[in-house]
Structure 1
Amino acid sequence: MKKLFILCMVTLIFACKEEPKMDYTLLTGQIENPTAQVVSIYNGREKVKDLPLNESNSFSDTLRVEPGYYTFSHGRESSSIFLAPGYDIKVTLNTKEFDETISYSGKGSENNNYLAAKYMANENANLDYTKVFALEEDEFLSKMNALKNDKLKMLNNTAGLSEAFKTQERKNIEYEYFSDLQNYWSYHSYYAKKEEFTPSEDFIKKFNSIDFNNQEDYASLDSYKRLVQNYYNNKISKSDNPLEVFKDINSNGFPQLKEDLANSLRYNIGPNNEHNETLYKGLMAMSSNEKFKEDITKKYNKVKTLAKGMPSPEFVEYENHKGGTTSLKDLKGKYVYVDVWATWCGPCIREIPSLKKVEEEFHDKNIAFVSTSIDKAKDHNTWVEMVKNKDLGGIQLMADNDWNSQFVKDYAIEGIPRFILIDPEGNIVSADAPRPSDPKLIRMFKELKI
């Protein structure tokens, strides 16, 4: 009897002992045809960790992360990945067909194979968003509702997904849907060529159901983060009194939202913004980053010197593709339309056909068309060949120090393409002129009687 009692106690002790829970994610993988030496995991824009590849092009490491969506990045390719403590995931892929071959196995793999399949389903749907956003409101809503329902159907029909993940993914799909609706206002105006377009009241009221101050979703869902930032961006840009919007953000917004908004709205301070002073004061109040405040103050003071009628900053002895050098002063007596671009810039290259048409229409007028490349010195030959191959007209120049060229700094250029119009006396007409593809440019030229 005594032996039986001891045996029962030993059994009870071992039966009650729990295995320790993993408080980390184990992530391993194998990459065929690697294009870099590491795999990187990001939470939004913040890097969580670099996972180096070994000699056999595999990697293995632990990650201490909160449950949520992250970005798996290798070289120039990336994919959404859902991580949580306790997951033990193996990733395999071939970089020659990154999205088509990425696959997961192990604990947590079902959620991630779903994300990979969702991405490919979106790709295979092959939606032409230029046509979708050109649709009239009812047709557009019908298309977006069908797209959302397809995503929900796929989610509900995928076996093995955790309930926590399904809850998050339903939110994600809803926020993706509202992001598309949010873009309709400006995109429809552009693609349907309706400059004064405004959606119906019923369309706008759909956003009343969204809580734009959800700190938890902001921290965990990039789709919600984009939605919130665009919401406040649009609210400020469309407001007749942006100061009131800033007061609301500063009073009710949580700290991370205010910092992120400050960083994104800094680019709105520009030569043609009539609300620069209000924007500057609002950003200074939102941010607690002293370096940011210092930088934004410098930009604000610089932009004030770029008003219409102010003397234009100069470029001096830029290399001319046809030989020799050209300075801005060489073109005095003519209007000068400057295109700041680079060979690697897709939006810049998309403007070339429109620029050629404008150049042809005004070829015998008192205006010089100057394209200034800010390619790096190592890409000089690429610039030379592209000018030849695309038969670029006008005056083709290369800046003397890419982004660090004084002309670029003086015009506070932070993104390209950027177009500038200077009058025959060398004064600024517009430090941020319309693009060649924008009908406003031709109207501006005709108003100036060029």
Structure 2
Amino acid sequence: MKRLFVICIAVSLFACKEEPKIDYALLSGKIENHANKVVTILNGREKVKEIALNDDGTFADTLKIENGTYTFDHGREIAYLYLEQGDDINVTVDTKEFDESIKFTGIGSENNNYLAKKVLADEKSNLDFAKVFAMEEADFLATMDEVKSTKLELLKSAENISDDLKAIEKKNIDYEHFADLQSYKSYHAYYAKKEEFKPSEGFMKLLQSVDYNNEEDYAKLDSYKRLVQGHYASKISDSKNPSEVFEDINNNTFSALKADLSNRLRYDISPNNEHNEAYYNGLIAMSSDDKYKEELTAKYNKVKKLAKGMPSPEFVEYENHKGGTTSLEDLKGKYVYVDVWATWCGPCIREIPSLKEVEKQFHGKNIAFVSTSIDKASAHNTWVEMVKEKELGGVQLMADNDWNSQFVKDYAIEGIPRFILIDPDGNIVSADAPRPSNPKLVKMFNELKI
């Protein structure tokens, strides 16, 4: 009897023992024509794991995860993943046709094949961004409604995807739609060339249902994160009193948003921003990062020295494409229009035809057109050849230390192209002048009687 009792206890203990919790997903696959030897899995900006590739492009690893969306990053290509604990997914892809070739098999593959189809559908939609945002309100709304309906139909037709992913995707589609509507004001003003454009009250009411303070969605959904950041960035830039908006954000929003906004808006402290002090004080209050505050303070103090009429920072003995060197001092007595660019910069290259037109229009006038490349020394030959190939005019220079050149740092240049106008006495007219493609540039030149 005693032996039977012991056996019963043992059976009971065995039956009650908890099964080990599966808190991971298995990810394996093969990358044809791999760009490097690693695949990186990201959760937002946070690195979950870096997986090494074998020589033949194969890989396999275990990922400790929470259910949710992730990014598969290889070289310059990315794919979106939806991973659940217990998934066992195999991915194959050829980098020569990344989006077209990516395929998933195994447990959890249906979720990820849907996401791959969604990306490909977006690419194949062939929406002309400039044309769409130049449309009048009614046509724009009809087009955006059609885009949203197409996305919803694709989601509806997806088979065997998880209920959680469906719920996430419905939110994503809504947030992406609202983000398009939110962007209409600024993009329509630009593409339709209506500087003072404001959407109708009815249009703006479409955005009133959005909750911009959903901390949970902000943490999980990039679409919502972009929507919320865009909302507050626009609210600040449109305000005649940005200090009030900053105060509202600091008092009534959550810390992750404030941290992201502080990083995003640091670039808006610039020579042409009449509200630099409000931005500076607002961003300092938003951030708890001492290093960020130190860097922002240094930038703010630098930008204050770039006001109209202040002595211009100088460049000294930059290599001249035609031979020898040129310094800003050599050009005194003339207005100097400086184009800071690089051979790898697409927006810079798109300005070249407009720059040539402006140079032609003001040929023989009291102005020097100076293009200063901030290419790295290793790209010196690329610069030499591009200047020849594109038959660039004006004074073609190469900075002495790319982004770290003193002239570049003194002008607080964090993005290119950047255009600067200096007067004949070497003083700043505009530390962030209009681009050649902007009609305001010629207007500025004419007002100065160049």
Bin of the TM-score, shorter chain as denominator length: over 0.9
- One-letter amino acid matched to 1:160: N
Deviates more, 1:201-210 or 1:276-285: 201-210
**Partner deviation per Cα, 1:116-174 (whole Å, 9 max, x = no partner):** 00111111111111111111110000000010011001101111010000000000011
Answer yes or no: is 1:189 the counterpart of 2:166: no
- One-letter amino acid matched to 1:75: G
Distance 2:333 2:321 in 1: 22
Distance 2:150 2:447 in 1: 50
Alignment of 1:50-449 (within 5 A): 50-449=50-449
SS in 1 for 2:207: helix
- One-letter amino acid matched to 2:66: E
2:3: which partner in 1?
none
Distance 1:237 1:252 in 2: 19
C-alpha contact (below 8 Å) 2:270/2:276 kept by paired residues: yes
Question: Displacement, 1:301?
Answer: 0.4
Distance 1:385 1:44 in 2: 40
Distance 2:47 2:233 in 1: 25
Aligned residue pairs: how many? 447
- One-letter amino acid matched to 1:297: T
1:3: which partner in 2?
none
Distance 1:170 1:16 in 2: 40
**Partner deviation per Cα, 1:174-198 (whole Å, 9 max, x = no partner):** 1111111111111111111111111
SS in 1 for 2:319: strand
- One-letter amino acid matched to 1:312: S
- One-letter amino acid matched to 1:343: T
Question: Displacement, 1:55?
Answer: 2.9
SS in 1 for 2:206: helix
Distance 1:43 1:356 in 2: 45
- One-letter amino acid matched to 2:347: P
- One-letter amino acid matched to 2:309: G
Distance 1:16 1:297, change over 3 A: same
Question: Displacement, 1:64?
Answer: 2.0
SS in 2 for 1:72: strand
C-alpha contact (below 8 Å) 1:41/1:49 kept by paired residues: yes
Question: Displacement, 1:349?
Answer: 0.7
Answer yes or no: is 1:32 the counterpart of 2:29: no
Distance 1:155 1:14, change over 3 A: farther
Q: Percent identity?
A: 69
Question: Displacement, 1:7?
Answer: 12
Distance 1:10 1:129 in 2: 69
- One-letter amino acid matched to 1:29: G
**Partner deviation per Cα, 1:292-333 (whole Å, 9 max, x = no partner):** 000000000000100000000000000001111100011101
C-alpha contact (below 8 Å) 2:23/2:66 kept by paired residues: no
Distance 1:370 1:213 in 2: 47
SS in 2 for 1:198: coil
C-alpha contact (below 8 Å) 1:25/1:85 kept by paired residues: yes
**Partner deviation per Cα, 1:92-128 (whole Å, 9 max, x = no partner):** 1111111111111112111110010011111111111
SS in 1 for 2:187: helix
SS in 2 for 1:340: strand
- One-letter amino acid matched to 2:116: A
Distance 1:363 1:42 in 2: 52
**Partner deviation per Cα, 1:254-294 (whole Å, 9 max, x = no partner):** 11111110001100001111100111000111100000000
TM-score by length of 2: 0.96
SS in 2 for 1:133: helix
C-alpha contact (below 8 Å) 2:269/2:279 kept by paired residues: yes
C-alpha contact (below 8 Å) 1:21/1:86 kept by paired residues: no
TM-score by length of 1: 0.96
Distance 1:233 1:425 in 2: 37
- One-letter amino acid matched to 2:231: Y
Contiguous gaps of at least 5 residues in structure 2 = 1-5
- One-letter amino acid matched to 1:59: F
Runs (4+) of structure 1 moved beyond 6 Å? 6-18
Distance 1:80 1:351 in 2: 34
Question: Displacement, 1:66?
Answer: 2.4
Distance 1:146 1:10 in 2: 64
Distance 1:116 1:306 in 2: 47
Question: Displacement, 1:44?
Answer: 2.3
- One-letter amino acid matched to 2:70: Y
Deviates more, 1:160-169 or 1:54-63: 54-63
Deviates more, 1:60-69 or 1:210-219: 60-69
